[in-house]
Amino acid sequence: MGFRWFVQREAGELGLRGWVRNTEDGEVEVVASGSEADLAELRASLRQGPRGARVDRLIEHYLEDREAEELSSFRIDGAW
């Protein structure tokens, strides 16, 4: 399973809103909104990653309330 698909599944099971996508420099960017407990669970899943994945680091930024309100159900952005 690819990393983006893994993130979509995990976030969807938690009922989070947002998206995941690959960046031009080969990293994966995740934007998620939900309860602090659900976000903590997603963080733990991201650190582990799917089988065979290597996660080097997580960088966190917090959304402003108005940004989070604009998010819809969790999706993969830019999937081909």
CB 8 within 8 A of CB 74: yes
**Among residues 9, 57, 13, which one has the least CA distance to residue 34?**
13
Active site residues: 4, 22
Q: How many CA atoms lie within 13 A of 13 on its CB side?
A: 8
Report the relative pairing of strands 75-76 and 17-22 from DSSP bridges.
parallel
